[in-house]
Amino acid sequence: MPSCFSPLFPRRLRRSRKKTAAAEKDVYVEEKDASAASAGTRAPSGRTRPPSPPPSSDTARTAKNVFVLCLRTLGSVSENIPFGSVLNSAIDPLLDIMSRVEQTSENERGFVQLASRIELLTPIVADKKAQEGKQIVEALERELQSIHDDIKQALSHGKIAQFFNTEDNSSGIVKHNANLTQLIGDSTQESVNEILKTVRALEVKKEEKLKIVGGFGGSGGSGYRGGTGGEGEGPALELEKENIASISSIAGGFGGTGGDGVEVGGTGGVGKAPIVKFLRATRFWRQAPVPTYQPPPPPVQAYAPPPPPVHAPAPPEPENKRPEIFGGTGGTGGKARELGGDGGIGQGMRLNLSDASNFSAIRGGMGGTGGEADIKGGGGGLGEAPKLNHHLLTLASKNQNVTLPPLSIADFCKKYRLSPAIQRIFEEEDYASASSLLEVSEHELQDMKFKRGQIAEIKRALREYLASQNIATVA
């Protein structure tokens, strides 16, 4: 197959666009025909497959974020390769305009289709080197810029639904899916049909696992001075480590776009990071029944299984099911004649260090783009780095089940000589029992306005409390 990097590639790509789009359309129709078979009917082709779930509002709220996360991942990869700045010059405006696209159930499939292709292109971009790498980066940059321009035009004419219409072969989404598919094929020397099979499998996989996304702040109002964009609240989760495999990604909130102004554009809203806590093996003490004596059973000759064959194949390595976690995304600053609004802050993730191994990647926040202006554009927003904290105390044994007797905060403070000021703050924050303090990090105590000396006293009291229950801690 001729390379996409030859001088004839742009002309060849235009000629093959309709053919590729038609191939994608045929595969999609074939899947729709086959979906009837699992509901008790058989498709004309005679093949069956599980029924596709109906579009849900929950999926629609996350589909755009799947595309955004794939773009951010591609941007992170491109920072570590030559010519990566060229690619980021197209990714940043595309991420910017995503904050202006309203999410609906009608465009969720289009976002998933784009995300799947970007995910397939990411390792290709990372692996290509030298001149070939430069050419694929430039080709992908042109396509991403074209997607941005088409979405911008669709928004300005109120035709965003037509752009994302996956049923129409002449729509923008079908055109760009065909171009990205062709780019993958020219880079890997695989046929379009083989690539489409991989893409379909990836789309199904993306829809199977849970995606947790924060809220989207509203846009600031327009005026002489543009209004500030609303905050995008991050999700707050309490998880058990056994359930983490059911989650594919956790992302913070998206700050709203600042309002346009005459003098000054509005500041983009803050995109808040997720708040994630893992439940530890802490339980209250209960009186155990006194065991009765039972004589030991007579010895039984244990059956020794035969040794495994010498050349037995090694078991397959378990699939890495750890999700990625992302900070918040700051909103875009508003436009103005004189001063553009500043981009919003993208909050970084705060996580206990002992819980970090539950994730395959922990990414910081992404600051919003500064607003445009005739005189001075707005400054870019701060993208905060992740912050990894410690629990107040670390148990000596990671596998130990912590068994604690019930003890109220008031009794805990009295018994272990903590001041009334410390007790009052805990009660104002609705901490009811001493065992709940094992879930708190030092950073959270600082957020509660505890002083350094008070934090040291709380650690001392908890250490004495655990020692009274014969529970060892790491000094």
Percent of the chain with pLDDT over 70: 70
- What average pLDDT does this structure show over 403-415? 88
Count structural domains, the chain: 3
Give the number of other CB atoms < 10 A from CB of residue 334: 34
Task: Confirm whether 99 is domain-assigned.
Answer: yes
pLDDT: is 57 or 470 the higher one?
470
pLDDT: is 322 or 292 the higher one?
322
- Would you say residue 422 has pLDDT above 90? yes
The pLDDT score that the predictor gives to residue 132 is 67
184 DSSP 8-state letter: H
C-alpha separations of 238 from 241, 279, 435, 454 in Å: 10, 7, 16, 27
The pLDDT score that the predictor gives to residue 248 is 76
Task: Confirm whether 458 is domain-assigned.
Answer: yes
Q: Clarify whether residues 121 and 95 are in a common domain.
A: yes
Task: Confirm whether 309 is domain-assigned.
Answer: no
What's the domain range around 411? Answer: 402-468
Q: How confident is the model at residue 206 (pLDDT cuts 50, 70, 90)?
A: low
Q: Clarify whether residues 66 and 118 are in a common domain.
A: yes
- Would you say residue 271 has pLDDT above 80? yes
The pLDDT score that the predictor gives to residue 237 is 76
C-alpha separations of 301 from 113, 305, 307, 424 in Å: 61, 12, 18, 63
Q: Clarify whether residues 370 and 424 are in a common domain.
A: no
Percent of the chain with pLDDT over 90: 15
- What average pLDDT does this structure show over 150-176? 87
Q: Clarify whether residues 407 and 373 are in a common domain.
A: no
The pLDDT score that the predictor gives to residue 289 is 45
Q: Clarify whether residues 157 and 246 are in a common domain.
A: no
The pLDDT score that the predictor gives to residue 9 is 35
Distance between CA atoms of residues 217 and 59, nearest Å: 19
Residue after which a domain boundary falls, among 389, 413, 435:
389
Q: Clarify whether residues 27 and 168 are in a common domain.
A: yes
Tokens of 266: 């509005």
Contact 450, 429 (CB under 8 A): no
- What average pLDDT does this structure show over 65-90? 80
Q: Clarify whether residues 375 and 279 are in a common domain.
A: yes
The pLDDT score that the predictor gives to residue 450 is 92
Q: Clarify whether residues 157 and 280 are in a common domain.
A: no
Q: What is the largest CA-CA distance in the chain?
A: 92
- Would you say residue 36 has pLDDT above 50? no
What's the mean pLDDT when you consider all of the chain?
75
Distance between CA atoms of residues 21 and 26, nearest Å: 9
- What average pLDDT does this structure show over 9-20? 40
- Would you say residue 457 has pLDDT above 90? yes
Structure confidence by residue, pLDDT tens digits, 177-194: 889 988 888 888 888 788
